[in-house]
Structure formats: C-alpha cells, structure tokens
Structure 1
Amino acid sequence: MRAGDSRGGRQIPSPCRVQGQKRTERQAMRASVRIGKTTAAMLLLAAVVAGCSAGSSRGPATSAARPPVAPALRGQALRELESAYASPDAVVRAHAMEVLHELALPDAAGPILAALRDREAIVRFAAATAAGELRLAEAREPLLAMINDKDANVRVAAIFAMHRLGDTRFSRTLEQTLTDPDVNVRGNTAMLLGRLGERSAVRILVPRLRAEREVRVKLQIAEALWMLGDENGLKMLVAASISRYPDDQMIAFTALAGPHDQRVAGHIVSGLSSDYAEVALVAARALGMVGRADGMQVAMKYVTAGDPRQRLLAARALGAIGRTDAQQALAGLLKDKSADVRLSAAAAILALR
C-alpha cells in the first residue's frame, strides 16, 4: 500500500502532502485524531512503508564541506561534562550519565561506576542504564548488589544492565514490573525492554500495549515495540504524532526517530511548524536523529530564547543535527546560566562531526 493510493474510496494521505496543507487544515486533522485510533494509524502507516518521494531539499544532517570542530571548544565541552558529574542538581548528574552512554566516550567507565553509588535514585537509575548500554564489565559487582536497591526503578535498570552483561537470572522479573502499580516503574520497564533489542520481548509487550490505560506508559510500550521492529508500536506512534496533545506529539516524534529509520521523517516534519516551541524543537531533534537537517533553522531560532527549557531543547536539536556550523551558537550556550543547558550544549558539541 502506498501513500496516495485509494482503498475503499478513501484517499490515503501522504505525510509530504499533509505538510503542504494550509495551517487550518492540519489543525483540523490533529483535532480529529485520538491516540489508539487504528484507522488513522493504518492510513498514515502506508507512508512509512513507501517513503516520501520528495526528500528534504536541505540535504543530510552532516556535510564534509563544513568547518571541523574547534579543539578548544571541544575541550571546553569535555570540562563542562566533567563538572556535571559533581553537580548539586541530581537531574544534571543523571543527564550526564545519559550523555556518557549516548556518546560512548572512551573514559566513561569511571564516572558511571561512581554514579552507581549516588545517593539519589534518579542518578543510580541513569548510571545503571548507562552501564548496561555500554556493557561495562567492571560494573558487574555493584550492579549485582543493586538488584536489591530500595528503589524499584533502580532495580529494573540493574536487571537490564545485568542482562546486557550476559547474566539473565533476574530478567523474568521484568515481566512482573511491566504491570507494577507504579506508573514510572511500568514505563521504565517498557523502555528498557525495548533497549534490550531482543524480539522475544514483543510477546509480553503487545498484550500490555492493549491493556495499559496510562497514555504515557502506553506510548513507552509503543516506543519499545518500534525499537524491536514491531508494527504495533509504529501504528500507535504514528497516530500519536498527530494527536491534539503537544506532550503526546513530542513523545511520538522522539520515539519514531529512535531506530534512525529515515522513512518516518514524513510523520515528524510537520511538527516544525507547530504553534508550540517545544514541539517544534523536539521535531527538529527527531529529524536530526534520522539524518535530516530540516530543523536547523528552528533550533537556531531558540538558541537565545528566554525560556531555559527552549534553549536546552535547541542545544539537543543542534547536537542531533550534527552540523559543525552550529559551533558559535553552541559556544554561547556553553556559558548559559542553567547547568542543564550548559550540559546539553556540551553534549551537542561533542556530537558534532
């Protein structure tokens, strides 16, 4: 089935055509769709299978013709990342762990091992997840102890990491935590099952996708399924990408881009023209994740925004896009008064190629 084909008298919309519709028409379309409407998802899914025939005129996210990253700027970024390990803000410390595993820096082991002993559960969770993502063998002993951590989310991350290190003795517990009364535990379990990359998890995720009532968790389950290549997850994320709720759109854009499949770009690009700055910035980042620079102008627009959340999202978008001509803008954000904005800018600089 291809975008633009007619089935039963109904025209299947292509994301490329939807992007070109008048603003009022797009708003009406979004208002008419709810997450989980199978019909809308099936109609839009066709474009992922077929792809958009007209690609972005702005080219790929990176280009060899652009200037190299300045060594001095990279050094400043590394120092900012190092300072984040000891930040008084637990959220910043946790974010630093995410940066370490996303960039797979060669000296990541030391900070991650130290963070496994952090007093805050959010940091221990992020560190255990990073240890699993990077398969840090030296983390095996502390991770084994964390199987009995007082925080359920940390226990889930420790089980994930041990599984990634080849110890599957505790992995069946994730089937139980996927139905935990705590919404965060259910969501984190779904996310980490997707990151395990094992198709066997589809067997337990699909029934939970149908049974889950919390929208945020439902979308995390859909994200996990899409990471595992299952179309049940893709259908729900495509529907959520045109939800009338901005939060759902942002989750959907990032989740769709997770597997780095360029065919989903058509479902993300319309987000660049959202009335909500945060939605547009998340769409810009998601497009960067699939190798497109369509969101460069949007990201640059918010580098100097008054809202630190928007500056943070702008930095993350520029990092995902990866164009080295963003260095000057990121250098400015590296001096931001917000520690998390500075860390996001540092991560973006280190991601430039």
Structure 2
Amino acid sequence: MENRHTKSRGGPRFRGGDVIPVKAGIAPPSRHRWAKAPPTNLLFVCFSVLIPGCENPSPSLFSDAPAAKVTSVEQEALQVVQEALADVDAVARVNAIEVIGTTGRIELMPRVQPLLQDPVVPVRYAAALAVGDLQYAPAQRSLFPMLKDPDSNVIIAASYAMGRLGATQYLEVIRKALESKDQEVRANSAFLLGKIGDRGALRILKWAQEDKFSSDKVRFQAMEARARLGDEEVLQRLWAIVFSAFADDRVMGIRAMGALGSRKARDIIVTKLDDPVLEVRLAAAEQLGMLGDTTGEPEVLEVFLKNLTAGTDRIAAERVNVLTALAIGHIGTPALTKYLPQLLKNESKFVRIAAAKAVFQSKMRRSDSKTGTL
C-alpha cells in the first residue's frame, strides 16, 4: 500500500467500527468497548491481526465458469460463515450474523437463533437485527425475553425485530430510546430509526443531532439516519466530513453519502476515488458500487495488480483486504469477483467473512439479473 496516509484520530468513530459501529474507522477499534457498544453495520466492528499473502487469483467463478464451480465457491463461503457463527471470538460471531442478515441467507437463521441468548451483548444485538431484517418468524418467541434484557441496546434491537415481524407498536420503544442518557443507546436508536425507513422520525433525529447533550457519535449517527431517509438537508454537513483532514472521518462521511444516494452525493463520492489514502478510495468504490456505479473498479483492482498490501503490517493489510472484499461485493464485476476465492483462503478470518459476504452478494446479483429486477 502506498505511503500516503493522512492524519487519523487514533481509532474509528464511525459505523463500521464504533457504534460500535459501523456499517467504520480505518484503524481497528479497541475490544474493551464491546461490553457496552453493540454494532450497527457490523462487518467493520473489529479486525484481528493476521494477513494473507497475495497469491495468484483463481479463475473467475462468477461469469463464464461452470455452475458446479460457482456452487463450490458458495459452499466455501457458507463454511466460512458457519465456522464464524461458532467462533469463540464474539467479533467473528457478530460479523457472521451481519452477513446472514444482509445477504438474505435465511437457511442459516436456525444457527443464528440460539445466539439471541448469547452472553455477549453485541452478539444478541446483531442476532435480533438479523431476525428483523429477514423477518424470521420462527424466532419471534425468543424475542420476548429480550424485550426485558438488562442492556437497553438489546431491547431496542429486539423491538426492531418485533416491529419487522408485524408488531409495529414496539417501534415506539426505539423512538423513546433516542432520548436516553446512555450515548450508545442513543446512537443505536438513531441507526435503527434510519434503518426502519420512517420519514416521520426525521424531526426527532434532527433534534438528537443538534442536542447539546448528544455525543459526536450520536450526532453523526443521527445525521446518517437522516441521509438514509433521504433528507437532503444533511448534504452540506456530510460534505464537510468527506473532506475532513482525518481519514477515518472521510470514510465515515463517504458511507453516509452512500446512504443518501442522491446524484449530488454520488458526484461527491466520485471525487474520493483520488484520495491519498487507500482505505478511503476503497470505501468510495464500495459506496459507488452500492449505488450501481462501477467507476471505482480500477481502484479495487489495483490492490491485486499492484500488490498494495506488500510491505504493510498485518493489521493494515487486513483492513485493506476487508475493505477490498466489501467493495467487490457491491461492484460485482467479473474482473473483481475472480479474486474472491483467493480472499476466502486468507489467513484472517475477518477477511474470509468479508469475502463470503461478497460471494453471497454476487449470487444475489446474478439472481436479480435473471429475474429482471436489476
């Protein structure tokens, strides 16, 4: 990776690593925050240390390759996620749950359901979100005890799941949590209000963003939720974050711009493909891919063609490889997906989990193209 890093605040403060999110700082967050801070976009929650070597990529398994090979790579991805669900590391369990919830792998939910009683708060939180995201009715009974969980973050996650399963009265619990004195609860409440998609929450989100008692994390999470709800008023503030002197802030702003998804937001994200920091460029490429724009493909491809992780320490290389896999999942071109088998064999379980997510996203994209829903 080229040595062009700019200043960092010393750790992620955004969704991808600190609310605990997410959905994300450039440096790994410290694990001691896990006791209190459940994740939102969970794949960036924490990175461990190992790093892969850059071997020659396998042939593309996502375009002209035989169907049997596609199945083989998908089976490998499934194995990665299943192993992560049973991992002793709570971060791995959280990340695996997030993959299942966001890629529609409902066949794995019977393995997620027991994690609703996991002893670790972020795992219970993530499992409840997955139940809600996939509207997994068989787990509804397991949600009732969670509505009285000792941790308020778990309560609002369970309330989200109940609301998604049709008991919409529980969504009011999330609204009220935005007034909590606990800043983690506030931040996660803001995230969930954006996730629910109720534009009626814009007023209270704006209040939380401007409230003098809100932490920086809450203010940003409220701003990002407003972006997710299509509130163009946040564009100017997000623009300032995207052009911050701090790389972690820039990544955070790029993700929020992606959530906004407007033409102006997209144009701003495009400018960050020229950012001096590789991780920022990869985040921009990922968000553009999410918006259906493959402009960032060359930035991701360079990671492999120029071996940009060579000479970096293991943690830095792991971060880059995770971000690379996530970008591939959203961009999904054959030139990039052919590298997923390589990433699935990475030494780092977090890189493997991110690659598994990209494999599932590639399958979703192919299914959508066949049904004409793209």
Residue 185 of structure 1: aligned partner: 185
Structure 2 Cα separation of the partners of residues 106 and 172 of structure 1: 27
Distance 1:259 1:74 in 2: 31
- Counterpart of 1:276 in structure 2 is 277
- Aligned counterparts of 2:64 and 2:358: Cα–Cα separation in 1: 16
Q: Which amino acid aligns with 2:256?
A: A
Please state how far the C-alpha of 1:114 moved relative to its aligned partner.
Answer: 2.0
Residue correspondence of structure 1 range 152-171 to structure 2 within 5 A: 152-171=152-171
Give 2:259's aligned residue.
258
CA deviation after TM superposition for structure 1 residue 296, in Å: 1.7
- In the TM superposition, 1:301-316 aligns within 5 A as 301-303=302-304, 305=309, 306=312, 307-316=317-326
Q: Residues 125-181 of structure 1: CA distance to partner in whole angstroms, max 9, x if unpaired?
A: 111111111111122111121011122211111111112222234433323321323
- 1:51-62 paired onto structure 2 within 5 Å: none
1:225 aligns with 2:226: yes
- After TM superposition, list the pairs within 5 Å mapping 1:1-353 onto structure 2: 66-67=63-64, 70-211=70-211, 213-258=214-259, 260-261=261-262, 263-303=264-304, 305=309, 306=312, 307-352=317-362, 353=366
In the TM superposition, residue 124 of structure 1 has moved relative to its aligned partner by: 0.8
Deviates more, 1:94-103 or 1:69-78: 69-78
Q: Deviations over 1:82-112 (max 9, x none)?
A: 2111112111111111111111124132122
Residue 151 of structure 1 aligns to which amino acid in structure 2? D
CA RMSD in angstroms comes to 2.1
Distance of 1:256 and 1:274 partners within structure 2: 16
Q: What is the alpha-carbon distance in structure 2 between the residues aligned to residue 105 and residue 235 of structure 1?
A: 37
Deviating more after overlay: 238-247 vs 152-161: 238-247
Contact 2:174 2:192 in 1 (8 A): no
Amino acid at match of 2:156: V
Paired residues of 2:100 and 2:106 also in contact (CA < 8 A)? no
Identity fraction in percent: 34
SS in 1 for 2:339: helix
TM-aligned CA deviation for residue 203 of structure 1: 2.5
What residue number does 1:37 align with? none
TM-score by length of 2: 0.72
**CA displacement at 1:281 relative to structure 2:** 1.3
Separation of aligned partners in 1, 2:163 and 2:71: 38
Letter aligned with residue 64 of structure 2 = P
**Alpha-carbon contact 1:116-1:142 (below 8 Å) kept:** yes
CA–CA distance in structure 1, aligned partners of residues 260 and 128 of structure 2: 22
> So what's the TM-score if we normalise by structure 1?
0.76
The one-letter amino acid of 2:360's match is L
2:328/2:337 contact within 8 Å kept = no
Rounded Cα–Cα distance in structure 2 between residues aligned with 1:87 and 1:324: 31
Q: Deviations over 1:261-283 (max 9, x none)?
A: 45522111121222222211111
Whole-angstrom distance in 1 between the partners of 2:128 and 2:262: 27
Q: Distance in 1 between matches of 2:133 and 2:234?
A: 22
Once the 2 structures are TM-superposed, how far is the Cα of residue 200 of structure 1 from its aligned partner? 1.6
How far apart are the structure 2 equivalents of 1:268 and 1:66?
28
Structure number, greater radius of gyration: 1
SS of the aligned residue for 1:172 comes to helix
Offset at residue 182 of structure 1 (A):
2.8
CA distance in structure 2 between the aligned counterparts of 1:302 and 1:117, rounded to whole angstroms:
40
Q: Secondary structure at the match of 2:149?
A: coil
How far apart are residue 66 of structure 1 and its match? 4.7
**One-letter amino acid matched to 2:354:** S
**Separation in 2 of the partners of 1:150 and 1:169?**
21
C-alpha contact 2:187 2:222 (8 A) present in aligned 1: yes
**Contact 2:162-2:168 at 8 Å conserved across structures:** yes
Cα deviation for residue 235 of structure 1 reads: 3.6
Decide whether the 8 Å contact of 1:190 with 1:221 is kept in 2: yes
- In the alignment, structure 1 segments of 5+ residues that lack a partner are 1-26, 28-64
Residue 11 of structure 1 is matched in structure 2 by none
d(CA) in 2 for partners of 1:293, 1:191 = 27
How far off its partner does 1:323 sit?
A: 1.4
Take 2:117 and 2:138, find their aligned partners in 1: how far apart are those partners?
Answer: 14
Contact 1:285 1:295 in 2 (8 A): yes
